[in-house]
Amino acid sequence: MITRWTTLVLGAGASIPFGFPSGQELLNFVVSRLDPVSAPWLATLHALGFDRNQVFSFRTALKFSGRNSVDKFLARRPDLVDIGKAAITLALAPHEIPDRLFEPSRDAVNWYKYLFDKMDTDWQDFSSNKLAVITFNYDRSLEHFLFTALKHSHNKSDEECASLLSRLPIVHVHGQLGFLPWQGSQPVKDYTQDTPGNTGEIADTIKIISETTDDTPEFQRAQSILADSERIYFLGFGYDQTNLRRLGFGKMRHIPGREILGTALHMNDKEVRDVANRTGGLIRFPVNALDTLGFLRNYADLT
């Protein structure tokens, strides 16, 4: 069981082990699905009110934007935010495949299993785990994993698992792909690989970086959680300057005994130093060649 207040801050890299795309891969996939020859999303986007010219104008602008993520592209193109969020929803929804979270072939990178094992305790004590999660990702894979694992390992009902997990703070600062059936909010989207029929409603529940501010309720809650955390671990995070500021870095002070560590997979030494300097040395990077599971096993204290 996790006995000291610990917060995990998740970026896109944290979901990659479970079949989700990186920012660049998502951009490339959206462009491919809007190819003028086949355009498999054209009918859905048309039903949402986007005509053919709008769809292909969006594709052209995205393809030649020189950006490495759809979010960064949309931050500079507010005129395309609505169709962009619909495209993100259509792209990510099919990646929410339950079996991927539990496949033995993914055990070498499955940090959800490792985390769940660290949280393991008797049913009545599970909610005593001092863990919070702040995620910049739209997917609900962690919530689905924890719900499913609790249900089957403890033989509990959906209602019992939902009540237990409601006490675990998981903050999607940029929104999420709708709500899981047990979460009790609308719009509902089950965790399946099917493209959602309520794409428009679900798209409205996600926010790109230009639609949020330091003062949005989600970032305010995130700042409060981080301020009370004894241990903070950034996993698969890109360390965008705006996102760090909105989390409170810049006004956050060093607290003796507090540990703030981050993964740095695919980052070079200069990039690591730049992030450390921008945060006043608050975030430390013990090594820059480990994936999320390797980082947690070697450097994170989850006791």
What domains, with CATH codes, occur in the chain? Answer: 6-19+97-174+212-299 (3.40.50), 23-95 (no CATH)
Q: Tokens 């039903």 identify what position?
A: 47
Provide CB contacts within 8 A for 36, sequence distance 6+. 56, 59
Q: Is 133 helix (H, G, I), strand (E, B) or coil?
A: strand
Provide CB contacts within 8 A for 77, sequence distance 6+. 61, 65, 84
Residue 103 has pLDDT above 80, yes or no: yes
pTM: 0.96
Residue 86 · residue 200 · CB < 8 Å: yes
Q: How far apart are CA 44 and CA 263, in angstroms?
A: 38
* The pair of three-digit structure tokens given for residue 259, joined into one six-digit string: 């540990």
pLDDT digits (tens, 9 = 90+) for 23-66: 999 999 999 999 999 899 999 999 999 999 999 999 999 999 99
Q: How far apart are CA 224 and CA 286, in angstroms?
A: 26
Residue 253 has pLDDT above 90, yes or no: no
* The pair of three-digit structure tokens given for residue 50, joined into one six-digit string: 């986007």
Q: What does the pLDDT average to over 153-161?
A: 98
CA 54-58-61 angle, to 5 degrees, is: 140
Listed range (167-171, 175-179, 254-258) with the worst mean pLDDT: 254-258
Q: How many CB atoms lie within 10 A of CB 155?
A: 9
pLDDT digits (tens, 9 = 90+) for 208-235: 988 988 889 999 999 999 999 999 999 9
* The pair of three-digit structure tokens given for residue 168, joined into one six-digit string: 């675990």
User: How many CA atoms does the CB half-sphere of 95 hold within 13 Å?
Assistant: 22
Q: How far apart are CA 196 and CA 266, in angstroms?
A: 33
Q: How far apart are CA 294 and CA 297, in angstroms?
A: 5
Which of the 8 DSSP states describes residue 40?
A: T
Q: How far apart are CA 105 and CA 90, in angstroms?
A: 26
Q: Which residues of 163-186 are buried (b: 16+ CB within 10 A; e: fewer)?
A: ebbeebebbbbbbbbbbbebbeee
Exposed, middle or buried: residue 256 (CB in 10 Å: 0-12, 13-18, 19+)?
Answer: exposed
* The pair of three-digit structure tokens given for residue 270, joined into one six-digit string: 């200069």
Residue 44 · residue 90 · CB < 8 Å: yes
295: closest CA among 17, 105, 101, 98? 17
In the chain, DSSP assigns E strands to 6-10, 131-135, 170-172, 231-235, 259-262
Listed range (20-34, 127-141, 166-180, 277-291) with the worst mean pLDDT: 277-291
